[in-house]
């Protein structure tokens, strides 16, 4: 029972490089979310999706893009990485709103 | 303006005693509240929730209390165990915000044997 799987777990990028973080869930959840967590802070919502083919901006969307082409996958892209995007990124999913979210174990991203 | 605040960054208690973690919110539209627990190098896991129509919800050693007039909720852990040592996040949702959760900054609980 995998739940929510994030790939990769760690990555180091240089400023200006691009990359895509992959999130996959096997619970047939409609809602998926991308958060970032910085030291000493809570989770801040970057983008979210309420179903296949939909995406919406969260609290801190600038510098990120997302896609939800398949219900089970939610991709987070950084087109031109900046040091300010150094963070731990968490993906989550839920069956619907007002339901507890299931989280992956995070991707630790460092941008030099 | 932070809408969900956990004013105590850390809390240390003795094994067997009660742990009380607090959370305050400012948005009166919040109507569903959750607590998550997070161990190092893992994602948060759901612990317990409460709807605004209730003032208490209990699940084993964990009880959440909601005081709507004070815009305050608390998580009680009785008795505390060393395995409860983790970061605890309070989160709040509002139907007017499509049910998205707003998280506090977390409280690190240490339970000493």
pLDDT per position as a tens digit, B70-96: 999 999 999 999 999 999 999 999 877
The arithmetic mean of pLDDT across residues A46-75, rounded, is 95
pLDDT band per the 50, 70, 90 thresholds, residue B1: confident
Q: Which residue has the higher pLDDT, A1 or B15?
A: B15
Contacts B64 to A, Cβ<8 Å: none
Would you state the pLDDT for residue A10? 96
Asked if residue A68 lies in contact with residue A52, where contact means CB atoms within 8 angstroms, the answer is yes
Instruction: Using DSSP, state whether A83 is helix, strand or coil.
Output: helix
The arithmetic mean of pLDDT across residues A95-108, rounded, is 91
Would you state the pLDDT for residue A40? 83
Would you state the pLDDT for residue A1? 62
Q: Which residue has the higher pLDDT, A95 or B16?
A: B16
Q: Which of B4, B44, B105 sits opposite A103 (nearest CB)?
A: B44
Asked if residue A56 lies in contact with residue A50, where contact means CB atoms within 8 angstroms, the answer is yes
Instruction: Using DSSP, state whether B83 is helix, strand or coil.
Output: helix
Sheet with A64-67, edge to edge strand ranges: A4-7, A19-25, A73-78, A64-67
Instruction: Using DSSP, state whether A90 is helix, strand or coil.
Output: strand
Would you state the pLDDT for residue A4? 97
CA of B86, closest CA in chain A: separation in Å? 14
pLDDT > 80? residue A2: no
Structure tokens at B42: 């893992």
pLDDT > 80? residue A111: yes
The arithmetic mean of pLDDT across residues B54-58, rounded, is 97
Q: Which residues on chain A place their C-beta less than 8 Å from a C-beta of chain B?
A: 4, 33, 35, 40-45, 48, 50, 56, 58, 90, 92, 96-98, 100-106
Would you state the pLDDT for residue B70? 97
| DSSP designation for B6 | -
pLDDT in tens, A66-85: 999 999 999 999 999 999 99
**Residues 6+ away with beta carbon under 8 Å from A84:** A63
Place of tokens 């989160």: B91
Would you state the pLDDT for residue A98? 80
Contacts A92 to B, Cβ<8 Å: 43
């Amino acid at each position: 029972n995998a739940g929510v799987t994030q790939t990769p777990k760690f990555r180091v990028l240089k400023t200006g490089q691009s990359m895509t973080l992959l999130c996959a869930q096997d619970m047939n959840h409609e809602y998926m979310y991308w958060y970032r967590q910085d030291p000493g802070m809570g989770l801040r919502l970057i983008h979210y999706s309420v179903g296949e083919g939909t995406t919406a901006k969260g609290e801190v969307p600038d510098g990120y893009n997302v896609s939800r082409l398949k219900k089970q996958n939610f991709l987070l892209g950084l087109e031109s990485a900046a040091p300010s995007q150094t963070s731990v990124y968490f993906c989550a999913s839920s069956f619907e709103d007002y339901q507890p979210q299931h989280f992956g174990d995070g991707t630790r991203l460092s941008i030099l | 303006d932070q809408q969900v605040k956990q004013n105590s960054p850390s809390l240390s208690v003795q094994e067997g005693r009660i742990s009380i973690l607090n959370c305050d919110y400012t948005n009166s539209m919040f109507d569903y509240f959750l607590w998550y627990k997070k161990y190092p190098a893992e994602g948060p896991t759901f612990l317990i929730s409460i709807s605004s129509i209730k003032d208490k919800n209990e699940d084993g050693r964990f009880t959440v209390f909601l005081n709507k007039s004070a815009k305050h909720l608390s998580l009680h852990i009785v008795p505390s165990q060393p395995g409860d040592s983790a970061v605890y996040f309070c989160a709040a949702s509002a139907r007017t915000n499509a049910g998205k959760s707003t998280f506090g900054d977390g409280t690190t609980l240490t339970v000493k044997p």
